[in-house]
């Protein structure tokens, strides 16, 4: 089985979207997910679908970015920004949260989880199983072309997507954003202990 691996870097342009979102709790973990319908879909037509898999940390289906890390000083959902161009181009999206992580309602840690114990006890296979539950879920959705299901992994999500695709044949292709070929232990070792501290330059 051959998979299409689409590797590219996105320069994010924040585009306001008023398109309706539908929230779901899916699979054995009851993971939070948001389905966004492809725009301008003709009656009776089906469209491809992309499942978006978040990066490391307690990420819900929005994959939120705090205001202090954005150019416009406002908080943004990365997965909304990723989804909007696909939706406008006639592609459905399902953004998937990690098991245990709630829909976003604020930056206070006590609001992050619907089951913090579940999240704290996750293993790598649980994250792969979470994707499998999402794939099964979208296969039952109306207006979805079941022969054109893609996975989009961001950061840590790229490795989850690859590991899932290696053992499942129902995915047509992968989109990998911020992909690393290193194993997770090496990545964390570099991030936490070995890299030089970031330097911030101020220009007058």
Percent helix, strand and coil across the chain, each to the nearest 5: 30, 25, 45
pLDDT, one tens digit per residue, over 7-31 is: 333 333 333 433 458 999 999 999 9
Q: What is the pLDDT of residue 182?
A: 65
**Residue 96 bridge partners (DSSP):** 33
Question: What parts of the chain have a pLDDT lower than 70?
Answer: 1-20, 180-204
Query: Could you tell me which residues are beta bridge partners of residue 177?
Result: 154
**Strand 31-36 relative to strand 21-26: parallel, antiparallel, unpaired?**
antiparallel
- Beta carbons of 164 and 126 less than 8 angstroms apart: no
Name 80's Cβ contacts closer than 8 Å, sequence gap at least 6. 17, 62, 95
Quick one: which H or E segment has residue 154?
Answer: strand 144-154
Measured CA distances, 200 to 74, 190, 197, 203 (Å): 21, 19, 10, 10
Say whether pTM exceeds 0.85.
no
Residue 178: the pLDDT is 84
Task: Number of helices (H) and strands (E) in the chain: give both, helices first.
Answer: 5, 9
Question: CB-based contacts of 174: which residues, under 8 Å, 6+ apart?
Answer: 3, 4, 5, 6, 150, 151, 152, 153, 161, 162, 165
Q: Is 132 helix (H, G, I), strand (E, B) or coil?
A: helix
* pLDDT at residue 180, as a whole number: 67
């Amino acid at each position: 089985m051959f998979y299409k691996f689409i590797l590219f870097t996105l320069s994010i342009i924040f585009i306001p979207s008023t398109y309706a979102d539908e929230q779901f709790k899916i699979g054995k973990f009851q993971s939070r997910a948001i389905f966004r319908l492809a725009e301008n879909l003709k009656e009776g037509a089906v469209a491809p679908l992309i499942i978006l898999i978040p990066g490391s940390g307690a990420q819900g289906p929005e994959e939120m970015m705090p205001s202090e890390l954005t150019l416009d000083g406002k908080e943004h959902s990365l997965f909304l920004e990723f989804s909007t161009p696909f939706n406008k181009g006639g592609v459905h999206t399902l953004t998937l949260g990690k098991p245990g992580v709630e829909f976003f309602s604020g930056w206070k840690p006590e609001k992050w989880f619907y089951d913090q114990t579940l999240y704290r006890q996750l293993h790598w296979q649980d994250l792969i199983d979470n994707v499998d539950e999402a794939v099964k879920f979208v296969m039952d959705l109306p207006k979805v072309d079941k022969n054109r299901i893609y996975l989009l992994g961001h950061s840590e999500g790229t490795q989850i997507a690859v590991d899932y695709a290696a053992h499942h044949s129902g995915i047509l292709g992968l989109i990998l954003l911020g992909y690393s070929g290193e194993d997770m232990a090496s990545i964390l070792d570099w991030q936490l202990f070995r890299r030089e501290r970031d330097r911030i330059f101020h220009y007058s």
